[in-house]
Amino acid sequence: MRELRTFELDQPGLPVSWRAGYGQTVCAVAGKLWVTIEGNPNDIWLEPGQELALPEGYRVWLSGDGAGARFTLAQTPAPWSMQRLAAWLRALRHRVDEHSTDAFGECPRIGALCR
């Protein structure tokens, strides 16, 4: 299953920007779209009906050539195994941050209790 969102650009030439997530694809619906991807020296023009798979983690800039340009942003959810790994890594990081020491080598939680 994919999530689809439709956007309309109300100001021609004014780009919108976001960091692409896992499995995102942009598709031109109406008007000509101008796409720039971080680190890519070439600009990409999409005509209605054309789509582009976005590289995960890269910043994307998109603008319309004229008023009323529309596009859909489709996102395929990460496989369950990747979601589970990401949740596990977040929990591990939280645990490490919780037990980290300050500059004097004392655990902040214990030091706060002793005062």
pLDDT one-digit tens code per residue, 47-58? 999 999 998 888
Rounded CA-CA distance 28/32 in Å is 7
In this structure, which topology does domain 3-75 adopt according to CATH? Jelly Rolls (2.60.120)
What proportions of the chain, in percent to the nearest 5, are helix, strand and coil?
25, 35, 40
Give the least confident one: 17-21, 30-34, 82-86, 97-101. 97-101
- Phi, psi dihedrals of residue 38, rounded to the nearest 5°: -50, 130
- Locate the domains of the chain by residue range: 3-75, 80-114
Mean pLDDT of 58-77: 88
Q: Are 19 and 75 in contact (CB under 8 A)?
A: no
Return the sign of the alpha-carbon dihedral for residues 15, 3, 21, 50: negative
Within 10 Å of residue 19's Cβ, how many Cβ atoms? 12
Rounded CA-CA distance 70/66 in Å is 10
Q: Are 35 and 89 in contact (CB under 8 A)?
A: no
